[in-house]
Amino acid sequence: MTDVKTFAWLTLLLPLAGTLVNAFGFKVFKGRAPGYIGTLFLAASFGCAIAMLSALLGLAEEERQVRAIAWDYAVVAGGEGQTVDVQLGLLVDPLSVFMALVVTGVSMLIHLYSIAYMDSDRGYSRFFAYLNFFVFSMLLLVLAGNFFLLIVGWAFVGAASYLLISFWYRRTTATAAGIKAFVINVLGDVGLTLGTFLIFIGTGTLDFLGSFERVGEVGQGELTAGCILLLVGAFAKSAQVPLHTWLADAMEGPTPVSALIHAATMVTAGVYLIARMWPLFEEAPAAADVGAIIGCLTLIMAATIALVVTDLKRVIAYSTMSQIGYMVVGVSSGAYVAGLFHLMTHAFFKALLFMAAGSVIAAMANVQNLDKMGGFRRSMPFTFGCMVVGGLALAGVPPFSGFFSKDEILAYTAAREDWHVVLAIVGYIAAFLTAVYTFRMIFRAFLGEPVEEARELEAGHLAHADVPRNPVTGEEEDTDVGFPGPEHRIAERAMPMKLAMGLLAIGAIGAGFLQIPQVTHVVDDFLHPTFAGSRYFEELHPSDALTWGGMALGAALGILGILVAWSIWVRRPGTAARMRERFAPLYTLFSNRWYGDEIIDVLVVRPALWFGRFAQSTFERVVVNGLFVGGTTGLIRAGSAAVRARQTGFLRAYAALMLVGIAGALLWFLIEAS
């Protein structure tokens, strides 16, 4: 038992140590040293996570939910069985170990990738310090054993995301994106905190396991409201509708950041939350249904947008949004293992896709526009291979991992046999669209006529922009601190990048074999202790027909999507333009991102601005200055004017007043004495 706890704390604290070392030693370490240091700490953390796993597996199944408490800050028993227990405590159980492994593993590989990718950036140490801090926060979030630490980790993750999105802080677009992400995340924080309050009122304890045991004591209305508020938090973090607008803008951060935070780990925090809180959600089915519906909406919406977006990273970002929609649908419908399994495989192939995209962008000298790319297949074979692997996994083509995980979700969702079947159908449609947009991206970037940068690269010369420019707005920059460095590294020429991408590619290919239906169920068995007692976990199983039929359908849709993309973008190059004209209204809708930003502007931003103006001009002027300040001073001024009027300078008036006072006092004494 102590082994588990020790390794848990080590796993958590090693990244924090890495942050501190990099932060305080930034003057000492030169060259790539901060990168190696950060990666080493992360590798150590990953090692401890594996040790934690083996230690946990060494325990009997019933014991596999271990509380590791370091410090009781306050354990106060209130009335009616309420305990305010704020403890520095971790919960080490299969779910948290699973998440910790995913987080540390993928983070380690991304750190490796960044050693080379961020090489010439002036903020190298800062980058690795922030990145380690992010991993620490994420681990705090997933290892937390009570609501309190969960909220702390949640907030830290939001802060780390802000720091990393606006990493190139002299770009106004980056800082604006960071602020946008942070504000929406804070909205989620509020929802999370309020949800915690409501649940705490009912269960009386902040500890997870204690809270789950007492979920029956919470009133139904409170529980539903609390769960919906938790969902608000999850949606903000996982970029689901309507709190999704920040994810696309978050691509302003460096590519490793996008890979780590906005593909593999932070955006999956919402999924983790819903999975962790399954006892609450199973008792409040209304909230779970809300989650499923929103997840479904998101996945289809994001898929349609990804069809038309032209920025390479943003295609992958909307793809992330869509895939997380799948995960949310999965864990909200009771397919916990399926959703979490998809989380793991998605981490692999999405990080791989981002890394490959980073390589392409480097080859394009920081240009991200798909319209300007083409024909990199010959000049960047490794990148092309990785991207294809990731794309196949994403599209759900067997035997890649994405196929197994996505189909498991859809099969389990359909197995619910009520209106969830609609969700499954929408999911299949979106799977088709996924394949289309993924290969649209790959075909446009790698196939076709090589563009100038590609030709230069074939000749052996990596393209360089004379004047560095902002990829989105095109304004000029320099390469000093706060902007990207002058050198770009592509995967073919940087061993760390190749190594990281290769390992992820292996994961993207092979991870699916952990959960082949009815053959292997490693993840199922592993996660069993966490979900024991859940009626969906125990009872929800798709029938054989559903399973096999679903798999066949999924594979067919994936391959069909690839073929459609081939025919539109490769075989007859003008087809895309013609289709755009034919479906012009749809195209407008999709390319404007379903007007998400505009709607938020009208519903939230403009009223807030109006309120601010109103407050300043009317309320401030009339009420505060006029009534409160002016009124008080006016009162005092009037009072003192009245008093001042007594001071006439007339001696006899003063004497008269004295006599009046004496007469009054005498009268009072008389009355008192009688």
Q: Strand 66-77 and strand 83-92: pairing?
A: antiparallel
Q: Report, in Å, the least distance between residue 634 CB and another protein.
A: 18
Q: Report, in Å, the least distance between residue 641 CB and another protein.
A: 9
The Cα–Cα gap between 61 and 344 comes to 22
Task: Report how far apart, in Å, the C-alpha atoms of 573 and of each of 285, 305, 454, 554 are.
Answer: 49, 21, 19, 27
Amino acid at 480: D
Q: Report, in Å, the least distance between residue 633 CB and another protein.
A: 18
Q: Report, in Å, the least distance between residue 653 CB and another protein.
A: 7
Based on CB atoms, which residue is closest to another protein, 577 or 642? 642
User: What are the residues whose beta carbons fall under 8 Å from the beta carbon of 330, sequence distance 6 or more?
Assistant: 295, 336, 338, 339, 342, 409, 412, 413
- Bridge partners (DSSP) of residue 369 are 311
Q: Report, in Å, the least distance between residue 660 CB and another protein.
A: 5
Based on CB atoms, which residue is closest to another protein, 60 or 671? 671
Q: Report, in Å, the least distance between residue 669 CB and another protein.
A: 8
Q: Report, in Å, the least distance between residue 630 CB and another protein.
A: 23
Based on CB atoms, which residue is closest to another protein, 170 or 644? 644
Based on CB atoms, which residue is closest to another protein, 459 or 673? 673
First to last CA, the chain: 86
Check if the beta carbon of residue 28 is closer than 8 Å to that of residue 138: no
Based on CB atoms, which residue is closest to another protein, 28 or 667? 667
Based on CB atoms, which residue is closest to another protein, 71 or 650? 650
Q: Report, in Å, the least distance between residue 636 CB and another protein.
A: 15
Check if the beta carbon of residue 336 is closer than 8 Å to that of residue 99: no
Based on CB atoms, which residue is closest to another protein, 610 or 669? 669
Q: Which of 321, 314, 317, 194 is nearest to 268 (CA)?
A: 321
Based on CB atoms, which residue is closest to another protein, 624 or 667? 667
> Longest C-alpha distance within the chain, in Å?
119
Q: Report, in Å, the least distance between residue 673 CB and another protein.
A: 6
Q: Report, in Å, the least distance between residue 74 CB and another protein.
A: 59
Based on CB atoms, which residue is closest to another protein, 70 or 636? 636
Show the tokens assigned to 194: 């309020």
Show the tokens assigned to 523: 């993840």
Neighbours of 67 (CB within 10 A): 18
Q: Applying CB under 8 A, which residues contact another protein?
A: 643-653, 655-656, 659-660, 662-663, 666-667, 669-670, 673-674
Amino acid at 264: A
Amino acid at 556: A
Identify the helix (H) or strand (E) that includes residue 569.
none
Q: Which of 260, 264, 262 is nearest to 246 (CA)?
A: 262
H helices within 511-629, ranges in order?
Answer: 522-531, 535-539, 544-566, 575-582, 584-591, 596-600, 606-614
Q: What is the DSSP letter of 370?
A: G
Task: Report how far apart, in Å, the C-alpha atoms of 637 and of each of 626, 643, 647, 648 are.
Answer: 14, 10, 15, 18
Based on CB atoms, which residue is closest to another protein, 575 or 648? 648
Check if the beta carbon of residue 421 is closer than 8 Å to that of residue 414: yes
3-state secondary structure 199-216: HHHHHCCCEHHHHHHCHH
Based on CB atoms, which residue is closest to another protein, 625 or 648? 648
Q: Which of 260, 327, 321 is nearest to 105 (CA)?
A: 260
Q: Report, in Å, the least distance between residue 609 CB and another protein.
A: 49
Q: Report, in Å, the least distance between residue 186 CB and another protein.
A: 55
Q: Report, in Å, the least distance between residue 637 CB and another protein.
A: 13
Task: Give the CA dihedral 504, 506, 512, 516, nearest 10 degrees.
Answer: -160
Q: Report, in Å, the least distance between residue 666 CB and another protein.
A: 4
Based on CB atoms, which residue is closest to another protein, 522 or 653? 653
Check if the beta carbon of residue 302 is closer than 8 Å to that of residue 272: no
Residue 73, SS3 per DSSP: strand
Task: Report how far apart, in Å, the C-alpha atoms of 670 and of each of 656, 660, 662, 664, 665 are.
Answer: 21, 15, 12, 10, 9
Q: Report, in Å, the least distance between residue 624 CB and another protein.
A: 30
Q: What is the DSSP letter of 311?
A: B
Based on CB atoms, which residue is closest to another protein, 421 or 656? 656
Based on CB atoms, which residue is closest to another protein, 532 or 638? 638
Based on CB atoms, which residue is closest to another protein, 605 or 659? 659
Based on CB atoms, which residue is closest to another protein, 60 or 641? 641
The Cα–Cα gap between 613 and 606 comes to 10
Neighbours of 620 (CB within 10 A): 12
Q: Report, in Å, the least distance between residue 646 CB and another protein.
A: 8
The Cα–Cα gap between 665 and 174 comes to 77
The Cα–Cα gap between 445 and 525 comes to 41
If you write DSSP's letter for every residue of 234-299 in order, what string do you get? HHHHHT-TTS-HHHHHGGGS-HHHHHIIIIISGGGHHHHHHHHTHHHHHH-HHHHHHHHHHHHHHH
